[in-house]
Structure 1
Amino acid sequence: MSSEIDSIKARVEGVLPGIRKDLEDLVRIESVSADPARAGEVQRSAEAVAELFRAEKFDSVEIVSAEGGAPAVIAHKAGRAGAPTVLLYAHHDVQPENDHAEWDSPPFEPTERGDRLYARGAADDKAGIAAHLGALRVYGDDLPVNVTMFIEGEEEVGSETLPALLKEHQDKLAADVIVIADSGNWDIGVPALTTSLRGLVRADVTVRTLTHAVHSGMWGGLVPDSLMTLSRLIATLHDDAGNVAVKGLHSGPAADVEYPEERLRAESGANPGIEWIGEGPIVERLWTKPSLSITGLDAPKVEGASNTLVASARAKISMRIAPGDTTANAVQCLRSHLEAHVPWGAELTFTVVDTGEATQIEATGPAYDAARAAFTTAWDGTEPVDMGVGGSIPFIAEFLEAFPQASVLVTGVEDPDTRAHGANEGLHLAEFERVVLAEALLLHNLGALTER
Structure 2
Amino acid sequence: MSDPRRISAAAAELMPEVLERLERLVRIPSIAFPGFDPEPVHAMGAAVVALFEDAGVSGVTLLDVPDGYPCVYADIPGPAGSPTVLLYAHYDVQPAPPSQNWSSEPFEPVTKADGRIYGRGAADDKSGLVIHYGTLKLLGAELPCNLKILVEGEEETISHLEAFVEANPELFAADAYVIADIGPQRVGRPGLTTALRGDVACTVTVRTLANPVHSGMFGGAAPDALTAMIRILDTLHDENGDTVIAGVDSGSWGGAAMEEDVYREGSAILPDVQYLGTGSLSDRIWAKPSVTVLGMDLPNTAEASNVLLPEVTAKLSMRIVPGSDGDAQLEALMAHLRAQRPWNCQVEVEKVKVGHAFAVDESHPAIVAASTALAEAYGVPVEAIGSGASIPLVASLQKVAPAGAIVLWGAEDTAQSRIHASDESVDPGEIERMIAAQTLFILNLAEAGRG
Same fold per superposition (TM over 0.5): yes
1:393 alignment partner in structure 2: 391
Residues 21, 300 of structure 1: alpha-carbon distance in 2 compared, 3 angstrom cutoff: closer
Alpha-carbon shift at residue 90 of structure 1 (Å): 0.9
Q: Distance in 2 between matches of 1:101 and 1:320?
A: 23
2:182 alignment partner in structure 1: 183
Contact residue 65 and residue 160 of structure 2 kept, 8 A:
no
* Residues 1:119 and 2:114 aligned together: no
Alpha-carbon shift at residue 249 of structure 1 (Å): 0.7
Residues 79, 300 of structure 1: alpha-carbon distance in 2 compared, 3 angstrom cutoff: closer
Residues 347, 65 of structure 1: alpha-carbon distance in 2 compared, 3 angstrom cutoff: same
Q: Distance in 2 between matches of 1:329 and 1:281?
A: 26
1:193 alignment partner in structure 2: 192
* Residues 1:32 and 2:31 aligned together: yes
2:412 alignment partner in structure 1: 414
Residues 236, 10 of structure 1: alpha-carbon distance in 2 compared, 3 angstrom cutoff: closer
* Residues 1:42 and 2:41 aligned together: yes
Contact residue 31 and residue 45 of structure 1 kept, 8 A:
yes
Q: Distance in 1 between matches of 2:35 and 2:225?
A: 36
Q: Distance in 1 between matches of 2:211 and 2:430?
A: 58
Contact residue 186 and residue 262 of structure 2 kept, 8 A:
no
AA partner of residue 338 (structure 1): L
2:15 alignment partner in structure 1: 16
2:428 alignment partner in structure 1: 429
Alpha-carbon shift at residue 225 of structure 1 (Å): 2.7
AA partner of residue 136 (structure 1): L
Alpha-carbon shift at residue 139 of structure 1 (Å): 2.4
Residues 378, 312 of structure 1: alpha-carbon distance in 2 compared, 3 angstrom cutoff: same
Alignment map for 1:168-179 (pairs within 5 Å): 168=168, 170-179=169-178
1:253 alignment partner in structure 2: 252
Q: Distance in 1 between matches of 2:356 and 2:54?
A: 37
Cα distance per residue 1:152-197 (max 9 Å; x no partner)? 11112232233214523x3232211110111111211111122211
1:82 alignment partner in structure 2: 81
Cα distance per residue 1:281-317 (max 9 Å; x no partner)? 1111111111112232334445665544333333222
Q: Distance in 2 between matches of 1:418 and 1:69?
A: 28
Alpha-carbon shift at residue 407 of structure 1 (Å): 0.9
Alpha-carbon shift at residue 244 of structure 1 (Å): 1.5
Contact residue 166 and residue 399 of structure 2 kept, 8 A:
no
1:131 alignment partner in structure 2: 131
1:108 alignment partner in structure 2: 107
Say how many residue pairs are matched.
Answer: 449
Q: Distance in 2 between matches of 1:217 and 1:117?
A: 54
1:145 alignment partner in structure 2: 145
Residues 166, 134 of structure 1: alpha-carbon distance in 2 compared, 3 angstrom cutoff: farther
AA partner of residue 288 (structure 2): K
Contact residue 66 and residue 165 of structure 1 kept, 8 A:
no
Contact residue 242 and residue 278 of structure 1 kept, 8 A:
yes
Bigger drift between 73-82 and 213-222 goes to 213-222
Residues 217, 33 of structure 1: alpha-carbon distance in 2 compared, 3 angstrom cutoff: closer
Cα distance per residue 1:387-417 (max 9 Å; x no partner)? 1111222111111122212111111111121
Q: Distance in 2 between matches of 1:450 and 1:247?
A: 46
Q: SS of 1:156's equivalent?
A: coil
Alpha-carbon shift at residue 220 of structure 1 (Å): 4.1
Contact residue 8 and residue 433 of structure 2 kept, 8 A:
no
TM score, norm. by length of structure 1:
0.92
1:402 alignment partner in structure 2: 400
Alignment map for 1:439-450 (pairs within 5 Å): 439-450=438-449
AA partner of residue 127 (structure 1): S
Alpha-carbon shift at residue 55 of structure 1 (Å): 3.2
Residues 245, 440 of structure 1: alpha-carbon distance in 2 compared, 3 angstrom cutoff: same
Q: Distance in 2 between matches of 1:151 and 1:279?
A: 38
Contact residue 265 and residue 272 of structure 1 kept, 8 A:
no
Residues 336, 38 of structure 1: alpha-carbon distance in 2 compared, 3 angstrom cutoff: closer
Residues 300, 17 of structure 1: alpha-carbon distance in 2 compared, 3 angstrom cutoff: closer
Alpha-carbon shift at residue 131 of structure 1 (Å): 0.7
AA partner of residue 325 (structure 1): S
Q: Distance in 1 between matches of 2:14 and 2:100?
A: 35
Cα distance per residue 1:303-338 (max 9 Å; x no partner)? 665544333333222221112222321232123222
2:68 alignment partner in structure 1: 69
Contact residue 123 and residue 425 of structure 1 kept, 8 A:
yes
Q: Distance in 1 between matches of 2:268 and 2:107?
A: 25
1:324 alignment partner in structure 2: 323
Q: SS of 2:117's equivalent?
A: strand
AA partner of residue 407 (structure 1): A
Alignment map for 1:278-293 (pairs within 5 Å): 278-293=277-292
CA RMSD of aligned residues (A): 2.3
Q: Distance in 2 between matches of 1:142 and 1:206?
A: 57
Residues 260, 61 of structure 1: alpha-carbon distance in 2 compared, 3 angstrom cutoff: closer
1:271 alignment partner in structure 2: 270
1:313 alignment partner in structure 2: 312
Cα distance per residue 1:176-231 (max 9 Å; x no partner)? 11101111112111111222112222222222222234444554443333232222
* Residues 1:244 and 2:239 aligned together: no
AA partner of residue 374 (structure 1): A
Cα distance per residue 1:401-434 (max 9 Å; x no partner)? 2221211111111112112222222110111111
**Residue ranges of structure 1 left out of the alignment (5+ in a row):** none
Q: SS of 1:296's equivalent?
A: strand
Alpha-carbon shift at residue 363 of structure 1 (Å): 2.3
Contact residue 92 and residue 151 of structure 1 kept, 8 A:
yes
Cα distance per residue 1:17-75 (max 9 Å; x no partner)? 22222222222223222265532222222222222333344342221112222121111
Bigger drift between 404-413 and 265-274 goes to 265-274
**Residue ranges of structure 2 left out of the alignment (5+ in a row):** none
Residues 109, 310 of structure 1: alpha-carbon distance in 2 compared, 3 angstrom cutoff: closer
- Identity rate, percent: 38
Cα distance per residue 1:364-406 (max 9 Å; x no partner)? 22111111111001111x2222211112221111111222121
Contact residue 189 and residue 379 of structure 1 kept, 8 A:
yes
Q: Distance in 2 between matches of 1:292 and 1:339?
A: 16
* Residues 1:7 and 2:6 aligned together: yes
